[in-house]
Amino acid sequence: MCGIAVIVCGIKIILSSSLHPNFISAVPVLEQQTLFSVDDIKAVLRRRGPDSLGCKKVLLRSVVSSLCGGEQDVVAFVEDEDSSKGEACHMGGGVSKEFIRELQFIGATLQLRGINPIVQPLVDVSGNILVYNGEIFGGIHMSSDSNDTEILMQHLGLCCSHFSSPHNKSHTSGERQSSVPELLSRIKGPWALIYWQSSSKILWFGRDAFGRRSLLVHWPTKEDPRFLLSSVSPLASVNESSEGGEIAKSDFWEELPCGVYSLAIGASGTVEDLIGEVLKHDWTDQKLKDLITWERTSVQPKPEDLCASRKVYSRKKDSPLTPSIPMESKLASTDYLLTSLPHRVMIALQKSIMRRTALNTIYQATSVDYTNKCNTPVAVLFSGGLDSMILAALLDKCMDAKYEVDLLNVSFDGSYAPDRISARAGLKELQKIAPSRRWKLVEIDADLLKLTSETKLVMSLINPASTYMDLNIGIALWLAANGDGCLHDETGNDDTRNRVKYKSVARILLVGSGADEQCAGYGRHRTKYRNGSWLGLKDEMKLDMQRIWKRNLGRDDRCIADNGKEARFPFLDEDVIRILLDIPLWEIADLDQPIGIGDKKILREVAHLLGLSEAASLPKRAIQFGSRIARESNRKNFGSNRAANQASAGSVTIYGNNS
């Protein structure tokens, strides 16, 4: 996981109403008191990227050239943060007057791939600058020893200097050059980036089509006329109010909607000003565009379809696969399983996890101490529920048995929290199907009343999200990613004095996000089905997938990454999404059936294939309820669960409640 940012000063931003209907262009001011400093941004980015931190500036000058009849031009210089002289990327003669504006790029790196250490921002010989937070799992060739940022920089440097490239050809090869949007549309995997294309004076920025990596934006205002992009909000965005409570500047930052954007910088017609016009560009890859629309062809079943589906599921459920016979033998001897829909989903998920955990691509050279200690490169955010059990079981198939796996479990009610109970049961089931693996259940116990400083930190991490539900989820995720707890004592002794303290050093954390949205795991899905039948269910699931970037993923990315860990989402792999969309909706879920059977039916069948018969029947529990943090938060902030329920506590804005 990396932290990236850019700070644009002194440029008048032009933004269309379609991108921001209430935007009013602010007059650029070079020197002005602001809510937080560059050092504040560096501090929070460094928590995300502990391996290195770098900074580069691009100085922009509006130049009136006497040689060109007084026409204006824009020239750019790249300089290191502490240097006083810049290297000219483009110069013109006859300069008579110039006004300096600047773009400051910041990159903090958690390096997980590549054999050579990387320090961002990267600058190439043409003066192009890249800060990148993401992985390339397809679309661009990556060798096992390559680094994503370096490879992407090479490809970006070959892009044409225009928004689209119908006729642009390389001078050397004669092949058509890609535009930046075309290149980014091809990438499979999570990403957010900021890229300065020197030849065109265009700042490119954006995030992947599902928003799996955070990128926040501050559009210029009268109070702060800077244009800002950052992976995360600085701590200074949360201030003490006059009433003594915490107030977040929740309207300062916005989640940047998924997509590719450009800021083209040019002369304004007056020598004092530079202007930058922001445009949003369409995705160009047809397969990606099909995924974004999230349409499936088979939605409403015929009666015979439902009858046949239920008979097959009943037969599998009554005769589940057991771990006593090797899984490979069962699959080989049962032909229909090899072509069954659950088997297709299982294989797609296994490949997704393999892409995200292949150990020959995991970089471990930044710390000799880390390399010597780490026999646990990957951890799982673990409740013992259906999704995390599937991830853990498939992870076992993707890594050599010599590696240990940390199962990270958070509880605000000790051994009594539902997620703690199911996690311990899940550990036993995993040990049955994978006895040669050492599974380490890391039990992370917390008391909400003692998390004062941590709560303030998480409030800045979830920003611009601002409800108690967001805060509760954020705290639970932050604690899980931190990995500081005790190893589960399998003798059943819960005496805290004798428990072995343990802190997970795994840098990759598998998370089950996207499973509920795609497989009808939420209670509201059942309500929509009851009120609107199959079409109502389909529309609700589509809505969930198309807003997951704003409601879930940005927040979750920021809370997990703050610990120098990287969240990876196997259920949100492009190939997994495609396969789930290709499956008839009634095979994904059958909400006429009871909870624990019909919801996420396809994943319950996958669990049976993996020998996880107990996990296959577990009901859905959100982390805030399974860990019991919601109950503790309700008591702390509303006095009781009943009062919280009456106030619809989950949707209450924290800061409005305190002001």
CA 460, CA 464: separation in Å to the nearest integer? 8
Is the pLDDT higher at 248 or at 113? Answer: 113
Which pLDDT band, with edges at 50, 70 and 90, does 165 fall under? very low
DSSP string, 41-110: HHHHHHHH-BTEEEEEEEEEEEEEEGGGTTEEEEEEEEEETT-SS-EESS--S-EEEEEEEEEEEEEEE-
Q: Residue 544: left if φ>0, alpha if ψ -120 to 50, beta else—which one?
A: alpha
Buried b (16+ CB within 10 A) or exposed e, 591-625: beeeeebbbbbbbbbbbbbbbbbbbbbbbbbbbbe
CA-to-CA separations, 300 to 344, 534, 609, in angstroms, rounded? 21, 6, 26
Q: Which of 283-292, 307-316, 422-431 has the least mean pLDDT? A: 307-316
* CA angle 564–570–572, rounded 5-degree value: 105
Question: What residues contact 223, with CB distance under 8 A and at least 6 apart?
Answer: 35
Instruction: Please tell me the least confidently modeled range out of 303-307, 316-320, 484-488, 565-569.
Output: 316-320
pLDDT at 310: 82
Coil, strand or helix at 260: strand
Return the structure tokens found at 356.
């995200």
> Mean pLDDT, to the nearest integer, of 189-211?
97
Of 38-52, 269-283, 491-505, the one with minimum mean pLDDT is 491-505
pLDDT above 80 (res 482): yes
Angle between the N-to-C axes of helices 554-561 and 468-482, in degrees from 0 to 180, rounded to the nearest 10: 40
For the chain, the C-alpha Rg in angstroms (whole number) is 26
Identity of the highest mean pLDDT range in 236-245, 324-333, 637-646? 637-646
The side-by-side arrangement of strands in the sheet containing 378-381 is 501-503, 484-487, 439-445, 405-411, 378-381, 508-510, 566-568
Q: Which of 175-179, 421-425, 642-646 has the highest mean pLDDT?
A: 421-425
Most confident of 156-170, 243-257, 545-559: 545-559
Q: Which tokens sit at 370? A: 């880390």
Q: At 418, is the pLDDT very low, low, confident or very high (cuts 50, 70, 90)?
A: very high
Q: In this structure, what is the dihedral angle of CA atoms 635, 641, 642, 643, given to the nearest 10 degrees?
A: 40
Under 8 Å CB-to-CB from 234, ≥6 apart: which residues?
A: 36, 40, 41, 43, 44, 460
Which contacts of 22-29 are long-range, i.e. CB under 8 A and separated by 24 or more positions?
A: 23/219, 25/220, 26/220, 26/221, 26/222, 26/225, 27/225, 28/101, 28/220, 28/225, 28/273, 28/274, 29/225
List all residues 6 or more positions away from 122 whose beta carbon is below 8 Å from its beta carbon: 107, 129, 130, 131, 132, 149, 150, 153
Looking at per-residue confidence, does 427 or 272 come out higher? Answer: 427
Q: How far apart are CA 600 and CA 578, in angstroms?
A: 16
For residue 273, the model assigns a pLDDT of 76
- The secondary structure of the chain in percent helix, strand, coil, rounded to multiples of 5, reads 40, 20, 40
Is the pLDDT at 360 greater than 60? The verdict is: no
* φ and ψ of 59, to 5 deg: -95, 125
Q: How far apart are CA 136 and CA 188, in angstroms?
A: 6
Give the amino acid at 113: R
**Is 349 within 8 Å of 606 (Cβ atoms)?**
yes
The one-letter amino acid code at 21 reads P
The percent of residues in the chain predicted with pLDDT above 90, rounded, is: 66
Of residues 366 and 386, more confidence is placed in 386
Higher pLDDT, 370 or 537: 537
Q: Is the pLDDT of residue 244 over 70?
A: no
Task: Give the closest residue to 548 by CA, choosing from 582, 513, 581.
Answer: 513
pLDDT at 563 over 70: yes
Q: Which residues pair with 77 in a beta bridge?
A: 59, 88
> Where residue 651 falls among pLDDT bands split at 50, 70, 90?
confident
Res 491 pLDDT > 80: no
Average pLDDT of the chain, as a whole number: 85
Find out whether 54 and 268 touch, Cβ atoms under 8 Å. Answer: no
CB neighbours of 427 closer than 8 A, spacing ≥ 6?
A: 384, 407, 439, 441, 488, 490
Other Cβ atoms less than 10 A from the Cβ of 303: the count is 7
For 162-196, b/e burial (b = at least 16 CB within 10 A) is ebebeeeeeeeeeeebbbbbbbbbbbbbbbbbbbb
Distances in Å between the alpha carbon of 128 and those of 55, 65, 104, 125, 333?
A: 14, 24, 13, 7, 56
Q: pTM of the predicted model, to two decimals?
A: 0.89
Specify the pLDDT at position 95.
Answer: 40
Banded model confidence at residue 492, pLDDT cuts 50, 70, 90:
low
* Residue whose pair of structure tokens reads 């937080």 in the numeric block: 36
User: Which pLDDT belongs to residue 312?
Assistant: 74
More confident position, 267 or 205: 205
Question: How many CB atoms are closer than 10 A to CB 513?
Answer: 21
Question: Which CA distances in Å does 23 have to 74, 220, 550?
Answer: 25, 8, 20
Position 645 scores a pLDDT of 83
Contact 417, 626 (CB under 8 A): yes
DSSP-derived secondary structure for 297-322 = S--SPPHHHHHHHHHHHHHHHHS---
Half-sphere exposure at residue 100, Cβ-oriented, CA atoms within 13 angstroms = 9
The answer to whether the beta carbons of residues 627 and 476 sit under 8 Å apart is: yes
Binned at pLDDT 50, 70 and 90, residue 257 comes out as very high
Tokens of 369: 């101490």
For residue 229, give the H/E element and its range.
strand 227-230
d(C-alpha 654, C-alpha 658), whole Å: 7
User: How many Å apart are CA 186 and CA 250, to the nearest integer?
Assistant: 34
